[in-house]
Amino acid sequence: MIKLLLTLLSLLSILNANMLQDAIDNAPSGSILKLPKGVYRGSITINKPISIIGKEDGVIIDGDGNDTVITTNGSFITLSNLEIRNSGNRHHNLDAGIKMNSGKQNEISNCRIIDCLFGIDMQMVSNSIIKNNYITSKDVDLGLRGDGLRLWYSNDNIVKNNKLYKSRDMVVWYSHGNIIESNIGEHGRYSLHFMYAGKNIVKNNRYKFNSVGIFFMYSKDTVATGNLIQSSLGATGMGMGLKDVSNFTIKNNTIIYCAQGLYIDRSPFEPDTHNWIIGNKVLYNAEALHFHSLSENNVIKDNTIMGNIEDIVNDSRGSKTNENEIVGNYWDNYEGFDRDGNNIGDTSHKVYQYADQLWVYNPDVKFFYGSPVISLLNFLAKLAPFSKPLFIMEDKEPKVRIEG
């Protein structure tokens, strides 16, 4: 009887053992563990330079609904060609597919991270590569999901060719010098959110069906170019937002089918700095450019503003929207001519607020936004103004044809 009990306890111990964790613990630093197809127990921890690579499809590391599936500490760690699934669901623990801490020259590539509250959480990680991964969160309401990818005090990383689907946000906070390139984000909240970050490059990403495309806060010295932001959802769905940011270059992006195309709030923030908003296509949005609070010294040049219900909205009384440098843009609402054929309008393009002031300053009136009632009031206000219209901006050299 005693012998049978000891045998059962021994078998139970074997069943409860984590063979992958044992293999990691016993492997020398610098080892490459190539895993065959199969399901491996998660909640593993890596504390040494090591590579874990699926040598074929179907290598699954399952967290069994507990904690973070893979936690790494340190440098020169590679995770590749793995399916990582079924993390815990505790926000206060940041239960994630992969949690990478305090290292450099790490790599996460060609992984599928599914049914994990947070996808990849990087804290104090530098000079690393995150590429070709597919990430999705738990099947819960948007606000209860975790972030697909988090960079926290993480600098000089490359984040490329990843797809985030039905996660909450991708965040880059307190993180500098990162390249965010050719990623896809769909059906999230903030497809990309920056805060207290500088000298990042954001290029050629594709963001669709999120609440907000890209939002920059309290940041500086960043370039965003070649991005497509499409169909941000909801009555306040935003393409790209700039809040308290300085020395930004926003160039050659396309923002289309959003409630607010480009939202500018107290930017540039630092004295004697500028933001350059150049060569973008802002198309078929409810509002092309929305100014909030004092925002001057932006250079808004060579953009295409077409098909929007409103070209410029200024919701703050007394702000200085007209003190931005706005020149050489194409406005489909321009009503002038080009008699000398130089593709520059003979007269400047001026934008005023007429009856629109009613809904800009009184949200209750926005129920009628875009309705024949507001259109008629605007027409009558232009024909015979019953109050002084508010001057918003002037483009002294508007283009009359779209180039290229």
Global confidence as pTM: 0.89
CATH architecture for residues 169-354+389-404: 3 Solenoid (2.160)
Q: What CATH number was assigned to the domain covering residues 30-168?
A: 2.160.20.10
pLDDT at 294: 81
For 36-71, give one letter per residue: b (16+ CB within 10 A) or e: eeeebbbbbebebbbbbbbeeeebbbbbeeebbbbb
| Residue 3: burial class (beta carbons within 10 Å; 0-12, 13-18, 19+) | exposed
Q: Where are the domains of the chain?
A: 30-168, 169-354+389-404
- Reported in sequence order, the residue ranges of 244-303 that DSSP labels E, i.e. its strands, are 249-251, 254-256, 260-265, 275-278, 281-283, 287-292, 298-301
pLDDT at 234: 86
pLDDT at 10: 35
Higher pLDDT, 8 or 99: 99
pLDDT at 104: 98
> What are the Cα distances from residue 354, in Å, to 67, 181, 333, 389, 398?
57, 42, 15, 5, 21
- What's the pLDDT tens digit per position in 121-137? 999 999 999 999 999 99
pLDDT at 386: 58
Tell me what the mean pLDDT of segment 225-246 comes to: 95
**Are 30-168 and 169-354+389-404 equal in CATH topology?**
yes
Question: Does the pLDDT of residue 64 top 70, yes or no?
Answer: yes
Would you place residue 7 in the very low, low, confident or very high pLDDT band (cuts 50, 70, 90)? Answer: very low
- What's the pLDDT tens digit per position in 242-276? 999 999 999 999 999 999 999 999 999 998 999 99
Range of lowest pLDDT (69-78, 114-123, 341-350, 353-362) = 353-362
Please list, in sequence order, all residues whose beta carbon lies within 8 angstroms of the beta carbon of residue 363, skipping any fewer than 6 positions away: none
To which H or E segment does residue 180 belong?
strand 179-181
Question: Does the pLDDT of residue 15 top 70, yes or no?
Answer: no
The span from the CA of 161 to the CA of 101, in Å, is 22
